[in-house]
Amino acid sequence: MKFSQTDHRRIKLELSYDGANYKGWQRQSNVPSIQETLETTLGKILGKPVVVTGSGRTDAGVHALKQVAAFTTESPLKTEVFQRALNGLLPHDIRILQVEDVPLRFHPIADVIAKRYRYLIDNNCPSFPLTRHYCWVYREPLDLHTMRQAGQFLLGTQDFACFQTQGSPRKTTVRTISDVLVERIHDPNGLYPPLICIEVEANGFLYNMMRTIAGTLTLLGVEGSRGCGHPERMKEIINSQNRTLAGATAPAHALYLIDVVYPRIL
């Protein structure tokens, strides 16, 4: 597809990043962010300011295996040229996985139908030194059976106010969770020890919702390992809509945005 200098195009980016050195996705004053880094790099390529819209914010320290963003341009550069140029100029902790032309109406936030997050916990004793920056090192024993059972109470359309922390008010705290996974994952190459993986897919997430779900499942897992855990407590916590009854907000550095889902036909 050829474009002239006057054609407006909507470019969709799929990217991955290590969030350790950034204060989250959103541009902020005097601190590094993923959005600012992308916009600055695109500005160098295009010779003019560019506004990049992401599918949503990730907090300081949170990582992404797949984030989606988009921008509008009149540049005739081919998508593969954009990808090579961006990866040539961006820091090594941000990589562009795919670049494609999409309809001008495409909006990375409004068009999302689901997102999936992963949370990793190193529950080994002793913990593995290389995981400390990318997993929550949790030293008390956890009962995965209790955590799995509790996770099933998250499914469906419910008011998840109990998992929202202050900072980003929403019109509604009702969300639909379509999948919850709690399992122990093993590295087939034996380079890393078994890790506890929590994955949640939903049509949207409240502020710190995923981290609080991870903290609550961990709380119930500790109780289960002590023989006093009741998975049904998750249902009670959700119905209460009371943040103080849920678990702690788990650390950000162990959280990964792993997928953003859009309709097949935009």
Q: Which residues are catalytic?
A: 59
Contacts of 30 (CB under 8 A, 6+ apart): none
Q: Which amino acid is at 226?
A: R
- Cα separation, 241 vs 93, whole angstroms: 38
Place of tokens 């996985």: 97
Beta bridge partners of 156: 177
Asked if omega into 76 is within 30° of 0 (cis), the reply is no
